[in-house]
Structure 1
Amino acid sequence: MRDGYRFEFGALDEPDAPKAQALKPLEEAAEVYGAWQDCDDMRLSPIMTARREYRQNLIDECMDVVQAVVSLLDAEGFTQQDVDAAIERCNERNRERGRL
């Protein structure tokens, strides 16, 4: 298991309207799935430059999801302490399910 990743993301300066803000992670997640499909289709390609391009697109789309989530948390007024506590609860749930 990996130790995880460390991210430093600030929230967007001008949040969207509340409903749009809440929908943005879903929209971005759909784009991740599309990028993953493209990447998966190229997984066995002998053309390394194409594989690198699709992998870069996939990670870029993933970071768009993270940015959208960070911005939603900020728009809703959550603090770092709230986020830290939620991460620990998430980790505990995953430990209980045998995922960690």
Structure 2
Amino acid sequence: MRLMRDGYLLNLRTFHEVRDDKAQALKPLEEAAEVFGAWQDRDDMRLSPIMTARRAYRDDLIDECLDTVQATVNLLAAVGATQGEVDAAIRRMDERNCERGRL
């Protein structure tokens, strides 16, 4: 298995209707909780001899991760974040992660 070290190229569209409200702000949190649940399910099946089951749980985890990213992108759109602002935030995040020895 090849590990992704340089990041992922994601091209996500926002939903047609997004709102700058509490429900929209809570959606990434809800989706992140579903990521953890999917990870727990996958972890429980880690040693299963049934390869199709292991693959299904892995796919579910990946799907839940992307649902979380989608919810975050929708929230960015709801608050009117520009591509320039997102790019600047990514640079700041990379700087913090470099300072912490993560990158």
Question: TM class, shorter-chain normalised?
Answer: over 0.9
Which residue of 2 is the match for residue 60 of structure 1? 63
Q: Distance in 2 between matches of 1:16 and 1:40?
A: 35
1:61 partner amino acid: E
- Using the size of structure 2 for normalisation, the TM-score is 0.94
Q: Distance in 2 between matches of 1:55 and 1:16?
A: 31
Deviation at 1:15, TM superposition (A): 1.4
2:41 is the counterpart of 1:38: yes
Q: Distance in 2 between matches of 1:44 and 1:5?
A: 28
Which residue of 1 is the match for residue 28 of structure 2? 25
Identity level (%)? 70
Which residue of 2 is the match for residue 97 of structure 1? 100
Q: Distance in 2 between matches of 1:42 and 1:11?
A: 33
**Count of residue correspondences:** 100
Q: Distance in 1 between matches of 2:66 and 2:14?
A: 13
Deviation at 1:6, TM superposition (A): 0.8
Deviation at 1:14, TM superposition (A): 1.1
2:52 to 28, 49, 52: 49
Deviation beyond 3 Å, 4+ runs, structure 1: none
Q: What's the C-alpha RMSD, in Å, of the aligned pairs?
A: 1.1
- Using the size of structure 1 for normalisation, the TM-score is 0.96
Runs of 5+ unmatched residues, structure 1: none
